[in-house]
Structure 1
Amino acid sequence: MYDHPTGALYVVATPIGNLKDITLRALEVLKGVHFVAAEDTRVTRSLLDHYGIDTPCVSYNEHNRTEKTPVFLHRLEKGESIALVSDAGTPLVSDPGSFLVEEVLSRGLPVHPVPGASAPIAALTCSGLFRSGFYFGGFLPRKRNELLKTAEDLLHRPDTHVFFESPNRIEKSLEIMREVLGDERRLAVVREITKRHETLCRGTIGDVLDCLARSPVKGEIVLVIEGWEEDRDATLDDLPPKVLQALSEISLPPSEKARFLSRAFGVDRKSVYRLLEDLPERR
């Protein structure tokens, strides 16, 4: 499987926290290749030792890629196979691996993905803010003006946006983005995904800031921001009678019922609320 006329590069996803989140194929590849190109050999060595894998690790990162890439290409052309890994998750997502992949492909050598854990996808799936499309923007800009520009760019975009952010900057970044996005845009901050202290803070920007203030902000953070929707005023024709009947039997505040109907049927929340208030008089 790992012997080609030339070698092959395997882009291998590794766990993002819980060491059990690795595929059987990934373990097989890590055992079978000639060496592992690792962002941090100490991190990868710990993972390999956990599974009893003695494949050698070689450092490959932003600082040494220029000198290491020609060496790797030569070894691939000799018939050796390489596994490319990052410290956590899927390589090439905010790490330097794309340079190596491009060079390998430009030589006509094979590159094989070995899919698995991905922090942006994991955060997206548990955020409750994904509908159709999404955009991954890497790390948020550090400078205020650039961050405001990012917020302006996504202000009227319908797709969900996903970013990485530092625990030291997340609260300040949210305060700055609120200047553009306002108080109603919903988002989720997911911390320490798959780890012991995994936390999800979800709601409006104010809700999330309150949540973050209640506990120390530590560990890796993924920020998910819901897409923009152009709401229209609701009419009774937008709201199926069976849905209204079901909601009437559930003990929820009118504001929560209005929020649900607004999201479900793409209509303005305030106009739904007014309709719910008027319903008893219309029956």
Structure 2
Amino acid sequence: MQSQKSFEKTATGCLYLVPTPIGNLGDMTYRAVETLKQVDLIASEDTRNTQKLLNHFEIETKQISFHEHNTAQRIPQLIEKMQAGTTIAQVSDAGMPSISDPGKELVAACVAAQIAVVPLPGANAGLTGLIASGLVPQPFYFYGFLDRKNSLQVDELQALKQHQETMIFYEAPHRLKKTISNMASVFGDDHQVVLARELTKKYEEFIRGTLGEIKQWTQDTQIRGEFVIMVAGFDQVLSASPEIALPINEQIDRLIEAGKPVNAAIKEVAKQNGLNRQDVYRDYHEL
């Protein structure tokens, strides 16, 4: 067992995890700016990119590179510095350190060495997109980036098919078309999805629809910008045995709560239960 009192004075330094804006520099917090000014060193995913941020906020703290390709080399160096009393802020290019970005290995090393790790709140693309998606915001399941290899990506999606939570993924523009196509094949063309593009930036955009519709959109559109993909969860009740299944109207309501349009929910429930769609429609609307 280990207890950390984040702001208790010790002989060692500490690690601050400082989120940076995901696009709009106005989202940088006062505390984040002050922390970057006050620490002895900033461990940056890309020092050139971070320098632009530092210049904007007139921060003169020195940087050291810390990214996925030099983790093994840098971690012992940074731990040694903190044990000697150095305070370090770790930043990624955008958003939260450790969330689909470098950081988790350094955090684990600090915890093992009993060096305090102090997190700052700030920008996060996944949650920013989720609250405006129109899908059920909680519970949610954050996945991040899927595997780049097609066969492995399909396997990952198959394993996710039973999740009832809204699922959140990240994707680069040049891989979006393939990823959406795989999602449509595995989850079904009628399944609800929301794309959030260029969050907090001038061309911020939300594209909402079914996977079939979004798949067609990716084929007809010149895709630009970084994407958050949010996929409605799956209702487990529909695969339950008849004796424990919920009433038909409740099954429909659950799908609607998960983000599916009313008529699509009625169609899916009717199919799952072997019922006539028009009969289910009339009963649901009390016609």
TM-score > 0.5, shorter chain as reference: yes
The 8 Å contact of residues 167 and 218 in structure 1, kept in 2 or not, is answered as yes
Which of 143, 148, 168 pairs up with 2:154?
A: 148
User: What is the aligned partner in structure 2 of residue 221 from structure 1?
Assistant: 227
Q: CA deviation at 1:172?
A: 1.7
Q: CA deviation at 1:194?
A: 0.8
Which of 3, 27, 30 pairs up with 1:21?
A: 27
Query: 5+ residue gaps in structure 2?
Result: 1-6, 239-245, 254-259, 272-276
User: What is the aligned partner in structure 2 of residue 43 from structure 1?
Assistant: 49
1:205 counterpart = 2:202: no
Q: Secondary structure at the match of 1:180?
A: helix
1:31 counterpart = 2:30: no
% identical aligned pairs: 38
User: What is the aligned partner in structure 2 of residue 247 from structure 1?
Assistant: none
User: What is the aligned partner in structure 2 of residue 127 from structure 1?
Assistant: 133
Corresponding letter in the other structure for 1:175: S
Counterpart mapping for 1:179-258 below 5 A:
179-229=185-235, 230=237, 234=248, 258=263
Residues 2 and 60 of structure 1: is their aligned pair in 2 closer, same or farther, counting only changes over 3 Å?
A: farther
Q: CA deviation at 1:132?
A: 2.6
C-alpha deviations, 1:170-201, integer Å up to 9, x for none? Answer: 11221122222111211111111111111211
Q: Distance in 1 between matches of 2:52 and 2:261?
A: 47
1:136 counterpart = 2:138: no
Which of 66, 71, 74 pairs up with 1:68?
A: 74
Query: 5+ residue gaps in structure 1?
Result: 240-254
Q: CA deviation at 1:278?
A: 5.5
Residues 30 and 133 of structure 1: is their aligned pair in 2 closer, same or farther, counting only changes over 3 Å?
A: same
The 8 Å contact of residues 258 and 276 in structure 1, kept in 2 or not, is answered as no
Which of 169, 173, 181 pairs up with 1:167?
A: 173
Which of 277, 281, 285 pairs up with 1:273?
A: 281
User: What is the aligned partner in structure 2 of residue 244 from structure 1?
Assistant: none
The 8 Å contact of residues 249 and 284 in structure 2, kept in 1 or not, is answered as no
User: What is the aligned partner in structure 1 of residue 16 from structure 2?
Assistant: 10
Residues 2 and 220 of structure 1: is their aligned pair in 2 closer, same or farther, counting only changes over 3 Å?
A: farther
1:80 counterpart = 2:86: yes
Corresponding letter in the other structure for 1:170: L
Q: CA deviation at 1:226?
A: 0.8
Corresponding letter in the other structure for 1:6: T
User: What is the aligned partner in structure 2 of residue 103 from structure 1?
Assistant: 109
The 8 Å contact of residues 167 and 231 in structure 2, kept in 1 or not, is answered as yes
